Structure 1
Amino acid sequence: MARKVTVRDVAAAAGVSTATASRALTNSPSVNPEMARRVLKASSDLGYSANVFARALRTQRTDTIGMVVPSINNDYFTAAVEAVEKELADSGRSLILCDARESVETEAQRIELLVQRMVDGLIVVPVTAFDSVPAIEQAVQQGPVVLLDRWADAAGADYVGGDNADGLRQCVVHLREQGCSSIVYVGAQPRTSTAYERHKAFRELMEPDGGADGPGVHGSALLGEFSFEWGVEATRQLLAGDVLPHGIVCGADIIAVGVLSTLREAGVVVPDQVKVVSYDDSFLGRLTMPRLSSVRQPIDAMAAEAVRLLDDRSGRTDAPVRKSIFMPSLVVRESTGR
């Protein structure tokens, strides 16, 4: 059996000390760039493979970050995962992804599993704002945790998210500018922070002094789930009524796709008869006919901030909890009469 190539072999081939070779192989900035290049070339030529487990024991780091999302079937969460993975790759780290399948119990199991795998930190998009708290609280005691997009009440973790109230305001103001005097909000039950904040913002905007940019705007809300199926069911309820609203605001693109498909099946022309605007600006919403006007969140910047907070939290468990809020922007397309 061939002998395994060691760091000592790489160092000898590169003409540097073993310590220098070791630092170069872990991307240490203290190594001269020319020496680092020689070490990496020698490593490649010799077929060197690092002993990950030994290095983890020595450095107390695995260079992996765990991430738990409510459902990988939601296109917005897929985009969030891709953004985080890209950010980690730029620093030579890897992502371990877990799907909670919209279950608090599964979420808790996945979080525990990642902690046992000794990841260097966790990024979690909580399934709910309240029931997810115990598992997240326990993880916070073990290492850095950042909540992305959704917060979990009093979980003690840093949080990075978008300004949901401002995003909803942009939707309502846009529909008002397009001549809509009756608006329906189709969203999810307030079990998550995003569902709660978006619905709350809509209710406040519909109040007489709520800032809906003009008199005569009135609206109602239908609440169900963040799902295509709920978008279909809610639209059927609207179609069964006497009069359709002038505009529909959807709490997420996955709902809006169900809304648009059901309106089309019923022969309702969007945007001529009903205008539809949504939230998340996911890839899915760009494939609809007509294309969906939607609120875009700066997910790349949010992912970068989540990783930054994780790194900054390492070794500082007693630091105050921090929140970073990013401003969204409405992308106007054909579903509201571009």
Structure 2
Amino acid sequence: MTALVIAEHDNASIKGATLNTVTAAAKCGGEVHVLVAGHNAGAAAAAAAKIAGVAKVIHADGEHLAHGLAENVAAQVLALASAYSHILFPATAAGKNVAPRVAAKLDVGQISDITRVDAADTFERPIYAGNAIAVVQSLDEKKVITVRTTGFDAAAAEGGSAAVETVGATPDSGKSAFVGNEIAKNDRPELTAAKIIVSGGRALGSAEKFKEVITPLADKLGAAIGASRAAVDAGYAPNDLQVGQTGKIVAPQLYVACGISGAIQHLAGMKDSKVIVAINKDPEAPIFSVADYGLEADLFTAIPELVKAL
């Protein structure tokens, strides 16, 4: 029984979500192999070989694999699938783009967003915005799985010594083509990888106030900035900062919720954080039900005082 992890990378380095997925794969039993499919991605393959617990890295190189197009990556996975009992993807935008295609082509059911491995064929995943946990048993010969990375500790990025095997890239499917991308530049840590996150909600009232109040606190803490869906919908923050069921799922060491009421949609995205601090003037706000520390105060007064104290 061997598991194949589909690495998420930028052709130069391995992204953190891959490390959590390796941990999940190891719990399935047997060896863990990692597929690095990209273009001029030798450095990423070498980095994958150093991940603790990885027995082998498979490196497929082709220009049509450079940007992770679903049709091409799926074809590469399918070319290797016969040797594996479990095929695991991070439950990120990239992983969710490829995994359903692989599952459909293999004619198996996809097991989505797992947070725990109970046995080689039994997994746990959240449903109803995390208010219930479903135990899913798969009778399929091959398991195609997406892993909620916040549910598993990251494997050590150093310490492994896996062999790197180069395989021929499958042909370009010709069904899609990469045109271009526009990447928002940000000096702060990426939300899903940040150890500290400061998030703002609708109570901030405007984009100007959001920046004026949240940014100094995030600067002091060296934190990433997040936002509730209500704040994003109101235009206070860009949608790539949204934390929640329809945004990004995060589990930092410290999560500071400022002026966020705590709707179910938001809680589903951050309640696995190690320490949650809530600042809200409404004592009945649901956010206090999951907070480790709660401050019932006006955020426009409390946060500047907190910044001065830090």
TM range (shorter): 0.3 to 0.5
TM-score, normalised to structure 1's length?
Answer: 0.31
Structure showing greater Rg: 1
Considering fraction of residues, name the structure with more helix: 1
